[in-house]
Chains A and B, each alone.
Chain A
Amino acid sequence: MLVTLISGLATGSIYTIVAVGYNLTWLTAKVVNFAFAMFIVTGMYFTVWMYSLGFHPLAIFAVLIIVGALIALIEYYVAIRPIANRGDHAELVTTVGVTTALQGIILLFNTSEAIRVPFFAGDTLIDVFGGGRTSVASIVLIIVAVVIAIGTHLWSTRTRSGLAALAQSEDRNAALILGVRPARTAFLVFVLSGVLGFAVAPFVGPVTFAIVTIGAVLAIKGFVVLAIGGLGSQFGALIGGLLLGVIEAFVIRFADATYQNPVVYLVFILFLLLRPQGLFGANRERTV
């Protein structure tokens, strides 16, 4: 039981991280970066490659941070900035395009088969109370996700820069008058999200393995988390992600893996139907 719970929390942690990544850019630039999950997957392949070259873990993190910042920067200037304020859901198309292109680039250098991603602290297994074993990597991943979600939550609600970012997305002109620079903020947060996506890869990879197709799956699950937790709520992303992971783990444990996605879909549409603002989202009346 406890093993199932931990494995659910570990999977859920990944969903949480994806949702946090979506929220980061949504809260600051009103853009959801569909490619965020593919950032994580791309980061995993980089990790595997650099381990094979014998890089030190710290060097791997350093490279991931730089590559993540660069790729996010390119995405921002090529696919986001030119269509800002155009409306028409233009970024839906371009960020899906970036995702697909990243997928294509990965497949140029790798096969579509799963590759094991080594964990820098080793593949130690620990005994779990009540029987069964779990990996240290899973435990560490859960801690990382909690820290990231709480950290970004505190950043956007408690710090000066976080509040400024929030303010410019709520009312760009008012924030401009008060001295916030919207374009710069949006850009910085976008780069930050790229760094986040790539830097978590060495934590996520050992749990999922590097498989290119999980990019799209994680991207979708991230949105399910937003539907559960509420768009824009990092705390909601934490609760929603962990909840989703645990639900999945128990469906697989007590039913069959075939039912995993159908059950998640059911949860998804139930939230959309019954509580469209999610658990922690704001419900706003529209204005004329």
Chain B
Amino acid sequence: MTRTETAIANRRRLPGWILPAGWIVVTAFLLLAPSLGLVNASAMRQIILIALLCLIVSGLNLSFGFAGELSFAAPAMYAAGAYATGWISINLINDLAVSLVVSALVGLLLGLVSGIPGLRIGGWMLATSSFFLVLLVPDVVNMAGASLGGHTGLPGIPRPELFGIELGDLGLYAAVVVITSIWFIFYRNLALSRTGRALTVLRQSPVLASSVGISVYGLKLKAYSLAALPASIAGTLFAYLDGFIAPEFFGLNFAIAILAAAVLGGKRSIYGVFIGAAIMQLGPMRTSAFGDYAFIAYGLLLVIVGVLLPGGIAGGYHELKVRLGRRKGRETVRRESNRVARVEFPPMPGKRLTVSGISKSFGGNAALTDVSFEAKPGEVVALIGPNGSGKTTMLNIVSGFYRADSGSIVLGDDDVTGKATHRIAQMGVVRTFQTPIVPEMTVSEAVATARFGKDRASIVETMMRLPRYRQAVRRDEEKTSAVLAMTGLADVANADATSLPLGTRRVLELARAIAADPSLVLLDEIASGLDEEEITALAEVVHAIRAAGGTVLLVEHNFALVRSLADRIVVLSQGSLVAQGTPDEIASHPEVLRHYLGAPTGIDSDDTIVDEVDASEHFITGDGK
């Protein structure tokens, strides 16, 4: 989806004013349509119902499409907004603005309270705990007693007033159109923002997300709670529409219909929502049209669209456009070589890493035993050792993916032992992965993901495009384009990151690391699978990081590379520290030689360590990776 969208955006950029102007025209047209005699009362009602469904579906898209967590809770949020509005309007004050604000708060609160447990596991558990929420609507209404009308429903909700003026049919219609229009501006701004991309990263790789400073749980919770907002606002408008609400309006079947509208329109679409909602509202949701076949229609629709058209109508349309575009001879950029002439970075805020007495075992299998070492700013420290010696385990402990059983990790003056991965990442600890993790987006967008943990703009600032958001975006762009230029990736900036060859993906991961202004760079076997030329290019970048004052800790099997890069080498074997020292000291260290070669002569600089290890070692230690 993201990939196809970017491809389209690159091909043909519309002038900036077209979209807002078009949006105003559409909104104004819908507003004026009844006065111009273009729509009658029953059409107005259908438009209102479609708009309400659009609001609800956009919420589901936020949690399912963007955050990747299917939620059925929308009818419960809708009911919360509707009942809050009904009760306030009857008992306290009848004002549309007041009702909207209260509904929004009630919805957000309900989202937060139900999201906190549900998102602990996510997947089916969120789906069912949110489904359960809908099951509770009649019970909660009943428990509230007569004030909410019980099973039979709550009648007598007055027509809404706005600042003392009663809104008639036309007024309510106008309010629905304007509110929907404004919400979709916010929704679109959020979807197409760095937060939207953060959600893309989170969905594709929670590991990458947390290692660039995104709290996976926190961001999912934000998206899920925010999803309650449009649904509860729609509830307010629905309560005023007929002046009567009953628990049966907010049942499980409605939850299924909402899901059907979302997958039909496209669960990550912005404008597809209107298509999905309109089709469902005018089709199977009008019971008269489909009658007994409505459920079969919903069910088949979910299966067929779910299997054949995972991006919904909007996704299918984008796919088609991209395919037609390709036929016109548009190709992704091919990169011939990785050669980087001379790399130089501005000063980096490198910090001292102090690892003391780290031990870690997996179910009685000791992966690390009492390991201590240090890495200083402007220094490259290499961790070497056979497979299963605990190198990657150590990286995972430093970056917070594993929790050490004992010992401490100190970064500068901050103890980061046991902190969450995203917190550690936010302190400037960046890493690359053995198999590069590259999200489906353009190269420059992928590099910009490094900035999520840095400049942060709130959801509200993002949705309203407030100055702080725009500043953050500007800084992202400056930093990203500078890093792309310095690492030689500028010519592929707009290419699909996933289409790059392995060597370039490794450079991309390094660029991403550098764009974060790192205090510590962790490199996990960056040379494996690369040819000489590619390795030289990468080594150049690592040298430049060191020259800029960065702290680098790398895990590597290629001893020639380690020797040329590292200031100091830390040797692990079966989870214990065997030796540490300069490359020359290590190359002639008797203990190291005995461990790795069984030969007294010394290690040639071309040797790689990995394959010379006795194979039995793998079985003794298992693999700490």
Tell whether B467 is near chain A: CB-to-CB under 8 Å. Answer: no
Chain A residue nearest to B292 in the complex (CB): A108
On chain B, which size bracket covers the interface? Answer: 35 or more
CB distance from A68 to the nearest CB of B (A): 18
Tell whether A70 is near chain B: CB-to-CB under 8 Å. Answer: no
CB distance from B414 to the nearest CB of A (A): 22
| CB pair A104 B310 closer than 8 Å | no
Tell whether B121 is near chain A: CB-to-CB under 8 Å. Answer: yes
| CB pair B125 A78 closer than 8 Å | no
Count chain B CB atoms within 10 A of each CB in A96, A99, A264 and give the residue with the most.
Answer: A96
Contacts of A216 in B (CB 8 A): 131, 135, 252
| CB pair B310 A88 closer than 8 Å | yes
Contacts of A261 in B (CB 8 A): 132, 135-136, 139
CB distance from B413 to the nearest CB of A (A): 27
| CB pair A288 B396 closer than 8 Å | yes
Tell whether A223 is near chain B: CB-to-CB under 8 Å. Answer: yes
| CB pair B306 A90 closer than 8 Å | yes
| CB pair B296 A272 closer than 8 Å | no
- Interface contact tally, CB-CB below 8 A: 150
Chain B 453-470, CB-CB to A under 8 Å as 1, else 0, gives 000000000000000000
Tell whether A58 is near chain B: CB-to-CB under 8 Å. Answer: no
Count chain B CB atoms within 10 A of each CB in A216, A259, A262, A273 and give the residue with the most.
Answer: A216
| CB pair B292 A89 closer than 8 Å | no
Contacts of A265 in B (CB 8 A): 129, 132-133, 136
Contacts of B70 in A (CB 8 A): 89, 92-93
Tell whether B146 is near chain A: CB-to-CB under 8 Å. Answer: no
Tell whether B207 is near chain A: CB-to-CB under 8 Å. Answer: yes
Tell whether B302 is near chain A: CB-to-CB under 8 Å. Answer: yes
| CB pair A269 B68 closer than 8 Å | no
Partner of A104, one of B123, B299, B403, B433: B299
| Residues A227 and B127 in contact in the complex (CB < 8 Å), given A79-B307, A96-B302 | no
Chain A residue nearest to B293 in the complex (CB): A104
Within 8 A of B (CB), among A1-47: 32, 34
Contacts of B139 in A (CB 8 A): 258-262
Contacts of B121 in A (CB 8 A): 227, 272, 276
CB distance from A3 to the nearest CB of B (A): 25
Tell whether A103 is near chain B: CB-to-CB under 8 Å. Answer: yes
Chain B 126-144, CB-CB to A under 8 Å as 1, else 0, gives 0111011101100110110
| CB pair B303 A79 closer than 8 Å | yes
Contacts of B252 in A (CB 8 A): 216
Tell whether A64 is near chain B: CB-to-CB under 8 Å. Answer: no
Tell whether B235 is near chain A: CB-to-CB under 8 Å. Answer: no
CB distance from B513 to the nearest CB of A (A): 15
Per the bound structure, the CA–CA distance linking A276 and B120 in Å amounts to: 7
Tell whether B168 is near chain A: CB-to-CB under 8 Å. Answer: no
Chain A 105-121, CB-CB to B under 8 Å as 1, else 0, gives 10110000000000000
Q: Chain B: residues with CB nearer than 8 A to chain A?
A: 64, 68-70, 114, 116-118, 120-121, 123-125, 127-129, 131-133, 135-136, 139-140, 142-143, 203, 207, 252, 256, 259, 263, 292-303, 305-307, 310, 362, 392, 396, 401-403, 433, 625
Q: Chain A: residues with CB nearer than 8 A to chain B?
A: 32, 34, 78-79, 82-83, 86, 88-90, 92-94, 96-105, 107-108, 216-217, 219-220, 223-224, 226-227, 258-262, 264-265, 268-270, 272-273, 276, 285-288
